[in-house]
Amino acid sequence: MVILHYLADKPCFMGNTFIDTKDNTLILSHCVCPRKMEGYYVKAASYRLRRYHREKFTGSLTAFVEMKKDQEVIICRLSGDLKSMIIARGVIVDCADMDAEEYCRVTAKVKIANSKEFIHKTSGNHHIMVYGDYRERLKKLNDILGITTIEI
């Protein structure tokens, strides 16, 4: 997350990852989303407050922030041994407020080239997403750092 944040100079979204094989999309879902996904110098997105993890953290709130549909994004994950990074370019096709009154999830549905291949080649669950296409810069940085890039 730190690598992509500094490379893009934008906040990133981290989410649990699922696939929808019916439409070849990757789904990222989590309870915390930055309001300035477009960049630090752009007006913050509006939000709606939601309970944070139902009753687990009584009295805690988090913000639902809707992500931009048709927004180009990069999704990546650095392996636990720091030797490889999977990256994919995608486009947000939907953003849902999952269980709005009961839960805090922000869920982005992203169309990528091959969601099954992405899931089979990734090294874990949490993935990072940032607005824009930073593949070339990310690949160059990975080369400098000795990290193998797995591009889907």
| pLDDT, tens digit, 9 for 90 and up, residues 89-108 | 999 999 876 555 556 678 89
List pLDDT tens digits, range 57-79: 666 777 778 889 999 999 999 99
Query: How many angstroms separate the CA atoms of 71 and 4, rounded?
Result: 17
Exposure letters 43-60 (e unless 16+ CB within 10 A, then b) = eebeeeebbbeeeeeeee
Domain boundaries, the chain: 2-151
Query: How many angstroms separate the CA atoms of 128 and 18, rounded?
Result: 13
- Positive/negative CA dihedral, 64, 34, 126, 58: negative
Fold of 2-151: L-fucose Isomerase; Chain A, domain 3 (3.20.14)
Q: What is the mean pLDDT of residues 115-137?
A: 92
With bands split at pLDDT 50, 70 and 90, how would you rate the model's confidence at 40?
A: very high
pTM of the complete model:
0.88
Q: What is the mean pLDDT of residues 11-27?
A: 90
CA torsion 19-116-76-81 (nearest 10°) is 110
Residue 133 DSSP symbol: -
Is the pLDDT score of 150 beyond 70? yes
